[in-house]
Amino acid sequence: MKGFITTAVAAAAVVGVAAQPHNHGHHHRHAKKHDHAAIAKRDTVVVTEVVEGPTVVKYVLDGQEVDASKAEKGISDGVFVVMGSTKPSFTAPAPIVSTSIASDDKGGQFFEKAVTTSTSSSAPPPATSSTAPASSTSSPVSQGTGIDADFPDGELDCSNVPTDYGAIAIPWTGTNGWTTLASFGKWIKGVAVDNIVSPTSGTCSKEMMCSYACPPGYEKTQWPEDSQGATGQSVGGLWCNENGKLELTRPKFKKLCQQGAGGVFIRNELSSNAAVCRTDYPGNEAMVIPLDTYPGNTYPLTNTDSSTYYKWQGKPTTAQYYVNKLGYEVEEACTWKSSKYPNDAGNWAPCNIGVGKSESGITYISIFPNLPTSTAVLDFDIEITGDISGTCWLKKGSYYGGGNGCTVGMKEGGTATIVFKNSS
């Protein structure tokens, strides 16, 4: 597959157009609404945007500029997939009870800072491990059992996801359980990479960067910190060397998965399952990392610690999630474009959640519509409860405050639960 790239400095435009994987409204400059740098399905596209003055978006394929209408149609039809990212421009809704911090560039953060936090005592119910009911038609996700085991650097074959060391394989990706595959020739440590090709079928093989998923509450530890995309693309995962063996890209971290900052949960009080899908970041930002929630259960939602996690061009990043409609199968929801629900699942899901612990110690949680990518409306309500700074909810398609979403802050040591409820 070739790489379709849009040089985008304001990924938002790209996202609107391309609706890339990690996108959406985080202020994170990632895929989707960010200025991602590549769209790769059968081809990788780079989106380039210029932040100074009016936003300009150009689509480039094999070094040649591509007509915008053709590129946008290809993205909508699933022929092109946004890969990587340059600099996202979407800004998440500011906290209702606070003032936002003025900043021209917040890097990969989806939130605006809250000024105050409350001391509400409504803590979430204890997290419970839960498996899908036997009647579920969702495809099983293989779960690693050795999440605390050190990874044997340079010893394992590249083809299979190393689930014995904590990673989970995603069976519906088309890439043998890996979340993102990226090929760009030899990996020279300390040198930015370019001409990234991101296959959407096959498996991890020699001289390829291979990204993977981790269980709920955890996130991957591996990405080449000093060898990111030359034009802003994010690159993550393990390296498959010339001998066909998997290598750590951050050797100081011996384990493949690490816990997030914690304190954030999702509780399903619905009549059926609801799939929540995290974008693969750093990586192609496809929303393929699943959290399939079921009625009566509470789950940890990975809360990225922005002070220690992946930095996009030196700027902190956060986690973004896509919330799908009631009852959608996880394999149809946690994918770029669903064949069964093409207009309101995956990249076109109705709603997004953004979560991240800032360098100040405050965790910010946002819920907001998947604009401008999707016009779908979520068929259930969401409310954030717990030790939070104010009020934030989605009810019957409308957000608290009347705008496009809302954001609250949670003080360090607090807890917050994002509750899914049937609309009344």
Domain assignment present for 29: yes
- The pair of structure tokens assigned to 240 is 């498959």
Domain assignment present for 366: yes
Domain assignment present for 111: no
Interatomic CA distance for residues 34 and 17, integer angstroms: 10
Domain boundary among 55, 83, 111: 83
Q: 247-265 burial by CB neighbour count: b if 16+ within 10 A, else e?
A: bbbeeebebbbbebbbbbb
Report the first-to-last Cα separation within the chain, whole angstroms.
Answer: 47
Query: Using one digit for the tens of pLDDT, what is the confidence trace for 354-375?
Result: 999 998 999 999 999 999 999 9
Q: What is the predicted pLDDT for the residue at 25?
A: 34
Give the H or E element holding residue 351. Answer: strand 351-357
Interatomic CA distance for residues 44 and 41, integer angstroms: 6
CATH number for position 378: 2.60.110
Q: Which residue has the tokens 């360090």?
A: 412
Q: What is the predicted pLDDT for the residue at 84?
A: 46
Domain boundary among 83, 99, 130: 83
Q: Which residue has the tokens 């605006």?
A: 112
φ, ψ dihedrals at 150, nearest 5°: -70, 140
Q: What is the predicted pLDDT for the residue at 195?
A: 85
Interatomic CA distance for residues 151 and 169, integer angstroms: 16
Interatomic CA distance for residues 110 and 8, integer angstroms: 17
Domain assignment present for 162: no
DSSP assignment of 217-264, as one string?
TEEE----TT--BTTS----SEEE-TTSBEE-SSTT--SSEEE-S--E
Domain assignment present for 326: yes
Number of domains making up the chain:
2
Interatomic CA distance for residues 328 and 388, integer angstroms: 30
Domain boundary among 31, 62, 83: 83
Interatomic CA distance for residues 269 and 124, integer angstroms: 13
Can you say whether the dihedral through the CA atoms of 140, 299, 286, 347 is positive or negative?
Answer: positive
Domain assignment present for 100: no
Report residues of the chain scoring pLDDT below 50: 1-56, 84-91, 95-107, 110-140, 142-144
Q: What is the predicted pLDDT for the residue at 162?
A: 96
Q: What is the predicted pLDDT for the residue at 64?
A: 60
Contact present, 275 and 216 (Cβ < 8 Å) = no
Structural domain of residue 63, as residue ranges?
A: 4-83
Contact present, 212 and 282 (Cβ < 8 Å) = no
Domain assignment present for 9: yes
Interatomic CA distance for residues 47 and 67, integer angstroms: 12
Beta-strand ranges (E) seen in 62-207 are: 64-66, 82-83, 180-182
Contact present, 408 and 391 (Cβ < 8 Å) = yes
Domain assignment present for 413: yes
Q: What is the predicted pLDDT for the residue at 194?
A: 86
